[in-house]
Amino acid sequence: MPFQNTSDWLEYDKNHLWHPYTSMTEPVPTYPVESAHGVTLKLADGRELIDGMSSWWSAIHGYNHPVLNSAIEQQLQSMSHVMFGGLTHLPAVTLAEKLVNITAEPLQHVFLADSGSVAVEVAIKMAIQYWYAQGQTTKQKLLTVRSGYHGDTLGGMSVCDPVNGMHTMFQGVLPKHFFAPQPVCFDDGSNNIETLELQLQEHQSEIAAVIIEPMIQGAGGMRIYCPEYLQQLRVLCDDYDVLLILDEIATGFGRTGTLFAYEQAGIVPDILCLGKALTGGYLTLAATMTTKKVVQGISTDDSGVLMHGPTFMGNPLACQVANASIDLLLSSPWKETVKQIEEQLKEELSICQELDVVQEVRVIGAIGIVELKEPVDMKTMQADFVKQGVWIRPFNKLVYIMPPYIIQKNELTILTTSIHSILKNLKPKT
Ligand SMILES: Cc1ncc(COP(=O)(O)O)c(C=O)c1O
């Protein structure tokens, strides 16, 4: 039976549909979106919200972009999907060529996965298979840092922060990996990588790879750290014979101010994971890229094949919109745009630092973070933001924005002003 009105389908949603990280029996409210255009989400009741989230890092060009719409419409005329086993197509090959061209020279090979989490699974398998093929069959574990986030599938979860990633609840099934403290960079230029090195020293024969989000740890705490840490990490990985996996699923495609965050450290990973903004937020697609060395390593094993192959691998619609999104980004002055957003965020969020409830304000590229001293009441704060005409979704102690790059100066001011006005009315807990 078709739904008669919005409250009917909202009620059905509440009773039957799971939303991310929510209870089915006591769900937090969801807001019905009717359409989205530019940086604006239009709710079913006609209210318009300025989007501060880019739909979790992905919609870098905003919504309903004519160029991206047309890429999908045109692709639809020839084929929406064919299996990638034994078949190939120009959208996928074109995308591979673009990715190889825009990433560091050694990254020559591309696996097209169907979501960020799957790209991480593939990266983990690549690393383990690489060492297995060299006869190093004990190198089956990963080393990572606390406060990381790498996805919700079991492999990805196993390298998420053990507390945020709920390792206790899934301890019977999650593989056990090694964790070093979260990266901390001190004012004198030093950092705490020695503890990670100790783990490498002790467990070198068991560790296939280090996995880390470069420059900023995202959903695990929105923590920014210094490029020197990454430079030292690259050297340590080489010294101790482990691969380096960089997870740029959130940071890729300009978000931190360089096209890829690893560029700020001048290093090259052995394996790189991309996703989210890859399709400009239109369709789910991710990529795991690697070097000739890893590919040749994997290929020396008896089977010689990489053991992964999702049904929707290399989906042509997703590849074509990714091609259009990359062209759109590279033909725009994205670097200056991200720099301007960064400067505006620094200037306008800095006043939050004076509030009693605020622990720290942090900005990198087009990402602005206000960390509070106490966790927020997400339901109430979300509703307050919506009342103010903005879409900002806080979690835990973090109120943060990473708007579409097309956001105008006055729209960004509305976002930052609304954060300040809501936080200034928060009462510190005694
Ligand atoms: C760094 C990082 N890795 C992996 C993922 C998982 O990607 P997906 O949600 O597309 O599975 C995310 C998603 O937030 C992420 O931020």
pLDDT tens for each residue of 261-270: 999 999 999 9
Range from 168-172, 222-226, 320-324, 347-351 carrying the lowest mean pLDDT:
168-172
Nearest C-alpha neighbor of 67 from the set 286, 250, 275, 332 = 332
- What's the CA angle centered on 307, arms 151 and 125, to 5 degrees? 45
Ligand 1 contact, 150 CB (< 6 A): yes
How far apart are the CA of 326 and the centre of ligand 1, in A? 19
Confidence (pLDDT) at 303:
83
* Smallest CA separation from ligand 1 atom 10, residue: 116
Ligand 1 contact, 149 CB (< 6 A): yes
pLDDT of 354 above 90: yes
Burial state string for 68-99 with b = 16 or more CB within 10 A and e = fewer than 16: beebbeebeeeeeeeebeeeebebbeebbebb
Ligand 1 contact, 247 CB (< 6 A): yes
pLDDT-derived band at 301 (thresholds 50, 70, 90) equals confident
pLDDT tens digits for 309-334? 999 999 999 999 999 999 999 999 99
Residues forming a β-bridge with 362 = 369
Nearest C-alpha neighbor of 327 from the set 61, 139, 49 = 61
Ligand 1 contact, 287 CB (< 6 A): no
What's the whole-number average pLDDT of the chain? 97
CA dihedral 276, 253, 120, 101 (to 10 degrees): 130
Percent of the chain with pLDDT over 70: 100
Confidence (pLDDT) at 430:
67
Question: Burial level of 383, CB count in 10 A (0-12/13-18/19+)?
Answer: middle
CA dihedral 63, 279, 386, 221 (to 10 degrees): -160
Neighbours of 194 (CB within 10 A): 12
pLDDT of 165 above 90: no
pLDDT tens digits for 243-297? 999 999 999 999 999 999 999 999 999 999 999 999 999 999 999 999 999 999 9
Verify whether residue 409 is a known catalytic residue.
Answer: no
How far apart are the CA of 116 and the centre of ligand 1, in A? 5
Position with higher pLDDT, 304 vs 424: 424
pTM of the model: 0.98
Verify whether residue 187 is a known catalytic residue.
Answer: no
**Distance from C-alpha of 426 to C-alpha of 355, rounded to nearest angstrom:** 9
pLDDT-derived band at 406 (thresholds 50, 70, 90) equals very high
**Amino acid occupying residue 170:** F
Which one from 98, 139, 276, 397 is the annotated catalytic residue?
A: 276
